[in-house]
Structure 1
Amino acid sequence: MAGPDDLKAGAVALQRFGLGARPGQGEAIRREARDRLLAEIAAGPVAQPQGVAFSGAAEIGQALYAFEDQERIAREAKRVAAQQAQAVSPGAQSAGMQVAGAGAMSGQMEVAQAPAEVKPSGQNQAAQPAKPPPNEPALPFRTYRDEVKSRVDLALAAETGFGERLVMFWSNHFCIGATKSNICRIMAGAYEREAIRPHVFGRFEDMLIAAESHPAMLDFLDNRQSIGPNSPAGRRQRRGLNENLAREIMELHTLGVSGGYNQADVTNLARIITGWTVVGREGVLGFPGSFAFNAGLHEPGVTPLLGRSYDQPGRAQGVAALTDLARHPSTAHFIATKLVRHFVADDPPPKLVDLLAATFRQSGGDLPSVYRALIGSDEAWKAPATKVRSPQEFLLASYRATGLQPNPGQILGPLGTMGQPFWQPSGPNGYADTNVAWASAEGIKTRIDVAAGWGRQTANAVPDPRSQADDILGPILSPETKQAVARAESRPQAIALLLMSPEFQRR
């Protein structure tokens, strides 16, 4: 039978490796925490969000192009109507006022009707996105919002949340920015569903290739604009390489900034992945919006990279280069460092990093093997709870603890206020993963305000905050927090005090 120390370690583990306890899980899940985490690894692929509007990138791309065509038609109709309203005879000033007013109204009618009357070239009528109800946002943001909601629902229902934490880690590692463009906004959820989730319990190189070849990533880091200077298109257009994706693959996704590459390697990797692009609205190379290899953009010839030469034909050249980058010793150390920093401490213990890096190398990048080494390490299990939950983790843990089933506004609003909306980092390096980023005085003040709001929203669902504190925190509940919750002036205040307690905030 588990002793007090084991139960305390289990309680910490549910926060360190998962998303925190849900009401009613209690002692049983704490006692079996390590076994349950290992069982989640053994179970295989993480679940996929349900109820999303589009199955994947190809379907989304077709709908997006149709939406953008409708927007273009509406803008043109509005411009023409405005010109007609101003085309008034100089000798008919008084009548002109009436004509202008009538023209404007006619223009408004044209704007409303044009999308339904004009079929954009290259699209069939079935591909036209339905007109949203009044006050609904446009298609890209509406799709983003619904993807976020489905993703959060899945995290709230998870038993321990370890798989969902891993999804969050890898989605941030291979991040895109939803605010970059319509494609990035509308495909952000599909990118996570297609490039990240299927490989969380698989091989790193498979996730790497899936992420770098996804339309959202190719748009976010501009590879669709990259043209081999000696390719057929490069010779015609006199356009050249865009090195953004190649640079971030090496600096942020594989080797790390100190991983032993130089500028020539960045340029050569950019040459190798020319032709990795997104199918346009005409659908010449495949389904509009999907990934395609365009041989007409690809730099021909043998290309060196990190001391090796790559002469494979077409897309295979890029796959071979990415596979070697995934297996590089610098990649193993870089990924191990990031995993330990995320789950254990801002200053990753060197021995634990070395253990995970060695496991990564020996297993050929088998991620379940790396996770088992992490969960099985006493150093990871018994480290002090010093990491502050990120805003996303705080939101999910709070909703799990209180049982709140949030609407989209209760997700998007708080995360925007706290500075960590889903899939919207300010740069390709993703959201920061250290206390400095989230535990500033201003950041804590914002959390207090957010927690106070959640206290008011969940007061009726949490009849006894004192019992809830015991249930959620168990053996890590401190006497100080227990007393503060008991002495709160109101039920909403008691809930807010629980959510802002050190035991709840740190993992």
Structure 2
Amino acid sequence: MINDSIARNRLGLGARPDDKPVADPRRWLLAQLDDYEPLPPPWRAIERTSMRVAQWTEQQAAIRSAPEAQRASVRADYQRAGRAAYLAGVEARTNSALQSSTPFVERLTHFWANHFAISVDKVPVLGFAASFEADAIRPHVLGRFEDLLLATARHPAMLLYLDQSVSTGPDSVAARRASAKAPDRPTRGLNENLAREILELHTLGVRSGYTQADVLEFARALTGWTLPGQQSPEDAAQTFRFQANQHEPGVRTVLGRSYADDGQQQATAILRDLARAPSTASHIATKLARHFITDDPPPVLVKRLADRFLQTGGDLPALYRELVSAAGDVPPVAAKFKSPWDWTLSGLRAMGVQTVPAARIQFLTGRLGQPVWRPGSPAGYGDVTATWAAPDALLRRVEIAQRLATEFGGKIDARALAPRVLPGTLSGATATAIAQAESPANALALLLASPEFLRR
């Protein structure tokens, strides 16, 4: 049976001080699947993917036409515009989470954005990070996994992050022309990054039976997937292009299945089959169970979710309903250690904060080791206690708890707030420590840094 605390704090983003007790937490969670708004007000001013692609193509054209001495200036201008778009996206993401009346689905968007991880450490990605979540993740989070997979694989942020935009078949028309024109100059070649990460991270998972030969064949099928080039008024809204002369010709064989040489559709067909594979169902089920229920999900739980995935052809709302049902079958304890992003959001929500400037959230999450859209690898941020619970990380949370309490706490009475935001989980020891604190700010900091608040 799901209680109010599990619904709000583990499956949601954290309780708020004005939240009313929910008579039927399971129904409240499932109702959000109907009420979710993909682009709520904080997201509506964000530059969409087509706008960012237009700026990208303009920059590429400007670099080609500019004298060598001016190209650095062109790149710097583009980078400044990209950083502005990034910060606007960070603010939209944060404020959307703080204001959301559908926090379960909002958490799901964060889960999928981390599953299909990109990183602004790669400069060209900087301006596309927000539009990636706005256009590839949020509209598809309540659709089919297959469509979500295709949307992320084709998005400019992913194509740039994993170098797919320059991957060229060794025997393609483009490669042959380049070799004939300049036989002694190295030409762009095949890049395996996107193919490998789709197999290893986005679909089948590691040790699922695919081989290096499968990676190479899939990479060959993906050649030609890139960004639009110099745009015309007719295709100004395009965000993806199949460049036929970069595509490696030939039939491809991936995981024992052959795919005809039919251009863009070759890789699309592979992606659709990967999306429906039993190993993909198991991989997705494991990650969802780990994120929402427990660090080490039992096999019976994983099988339950995977079976639902396969029965419905990857219908995500059906999978989420099964997840909510499964969450009600485990002991109602705060079993998940919050990541820095989770903890910061839940702390701000607990204090009733509705908006935070991008620079502030960047400082807070950066100090805690989880800046937005900036994981250290395509695997995304870790999702288990060991990733975030080191002693030095806990000390930083105590420091940030003090900052949050001082900056946002105002006249909040932590003694009254604690049972409202930790319904059913507030311990006597934590309640006593809060009551005996030297000041209201210290009391609030103790609440935010308490063992109960660190977990969900």
**TM-score, normalized by the shorter chain, greater than 0.5:** yes
Match of 1:123 in 2: none
Alpha-carbon separation, structure 2, partners of 1:219 and 1:234:
20
Q: CA deviation at 1:73?
A: 6.3
Match of 1:214 in 2: 155
Alpha-carbon separation, structure 2, partners of 1:428 and 1:398:
28
TM-score (norm 2): 0.91
- Residue 58 in 1 paired to residue 50 in 2? yes
CA contact (8 A) 1:46 1:201 kept: no
1:212-264 Cα deviation digits (max 9, x unpaired): 01111001001111111221012223543100100001000000011110011
1:358-385 Cα deviation digits (max 9, x unpaired): 0001110011111111101256553532
Alpha-carbon separation, structure 2, partners of 1:435 and 1:153:
26
Secondary structure at the aligned position of 2:42 is classed as coil
Letter of the 1:222 partner, please give it.
D
Alpha-carbon separation, structure 2, partners of 1:403 and 1:296:
55
Match of 2:182 in 1: none
- Residue 439 in 1 paired to residue 389 in 2? yes
Match of 1:76 in 2: 69
Alpha-carbon separation, structure 2, partners of 1:243 and 1:49:
38
Q: 1:337 aligns with which of 286, 294, 297?
A: 286
- Residue 414 in 1 paired to residue 364 in 2? yes
Match of 1:33 in 2: 25
Q: 1:198 aligns with which of 107, 132, 139?
A: 139
Q: 2:216 aligns with which of 237, 247, 267?
A: 267
Alpha-carbon separation, structure 1, partners of 2:99 and 2:245:
47
Q: CA deviation at 1:42?
A: 3.7
1:279-301 Cα deviation digits (max 9, x unpaired): 23566994498310011111112
Match of 1:101 in 2: none
Alpha-carbon separation, structure 1, partners of 2:161 and 2:70:
31
Q: Call closer, same or farther: CA 1:219–1:167 in 2, change over 3 Å.
A: same
Alpha-carbon separation, structure 2, partners of 1:423 and 1:49:
21
Secondary structure at the aligned position of 2:120 is classed as coil
Q: CA deviation at 1:63?
A: 2.6
Alpha-carbon separation, structure 1, partners of 2:234 and 2:222:
17
Q: Call closer, same or farther: CA 1:69–1:314 in 2, change over 3 Å.
A: closer
Q: CA deviation at 1:344?
A: 1.0
Match of 1:403 in 2: 352
Q: Call closer, same or farther: CA 1:73–1:309 in 2, change over 3 Å.
A: closer
- Residue 154 in 1 paired to residue 96 in 2? yes
Match of 1:468 in 2: 417
Unaligned runs of 5+ in 1: 1-5, 80-110, 121-128
For residues 157-172 of structure 1, the aligned pairs below 5 Å read 157-172=99-114
1:405-446 Cα deviation digits (max 9, x unpaired): 322222110000011111100111100111111111011011
Q: Call closer, same or farther: CA 1:284–1:292 in 2, change over 3 Å.
A: farther
Match of 2:9 in 1: 15
Secondary structure at the aligned position of 1:304 is classed as strand
Letter of the 1:316 partner, please give it.
Q
Match of 1:321 in 2: 270
- Residue 353 in 1 paired to residue 302 in 2? yes
Q: CA deviation at 1:461?
A: 4.8
CA contact (8 A) 1:352 1:380 kept: no
Alpha-carbon separation, structure 2, partners of 1:275 and 1:75:
28
Q: CA deviation at 1:62?
A: 2.1
Alpha-carbon separation, structure 2, partners of 1:152 and 1:416:
14
1:51-88 Cα deviation digits (max 9, x unpaired): 55554222112234546777996993699xxxxxxxxx
Q: Call closer, same or farther: CA 1:67–1:399 in 2, change over 3 Å.
A: farther
Secondary structure at the aligned position of 1:476 is classed as coil
1:186-205 Cα deviation digits (max 9, x unpaired): 11010011111111111000
Match of 1:393 in 2: 342
TM-score (norm 1): 0.82
CA contact (8 A) 2:251 2:260 kept: yes
Secondary structure at the aligned position of 2:3 is classed as helix
Q: Call closer, same or farther: CA 1:391–1:303 in 2, change over 3 Å.
A: same
Secondary structure at the aligned position of 2:422 is classed as helix
Q: Call closer, same or farther: CA 1:35–1:497 in 2, change over 3 Å.
A: same
Larger RCO, structure (CA 8 Å, separation 6 or more): 2
CA contact (8 A) 2:61 2:230 kept: no
Secondary structure at the aligned position of 1:474 is classed as coil
Q: CA deviation at 1:141?
A: 1.0
Q: CA deviation at 1:159?
A: 2.2
For residues 230-309 of structure 1, the aligned pairs below 5 Å read 230-238=171-179, 239-281=188-230, 286-287=235-236, 290-309=239-258
Q: Call closer, same or farther: CA 1:355–1:466 in 2, change over 3 Å.
A: same
Secondary structure at the aligned position of 2:226 is classed as strand
Alpha-carbon separation, structure 1, partners of 2:260 and 2:423:
59
CA contact (8 A) 1:279 1:285 kept: no
- Residue 498 in 1 paired to residue 447 in 2? yes
CA contact (8 A) 1:41 1:372 kept: no
| Backbone CA RMSD of aligned residues | 2.7
CA contact (8 A) 1:227 1:233 kept: yes
Match of 1:479 in 2: 428
Q: Call closer, same or farther: CA 1:217–1:448 in 2, change over 3 Å.
A: same
Alpha-carbon separation, structure 2, partners of 1:301 and 1:266:
16
Residues 206-215 or 405-414, more deviating? 405-414
- Residue 459 in 1 paired to residue 409 in 2? yes
Match of 1:225 in 2: 166
Q: 1:176 aligns with which of 111, 114, 118?
A: 118
Alpha-carbon separation, structure 1, partners of 2:306 and 2:288:
10
Q: CA deviation at 1:46?
A: 3.4
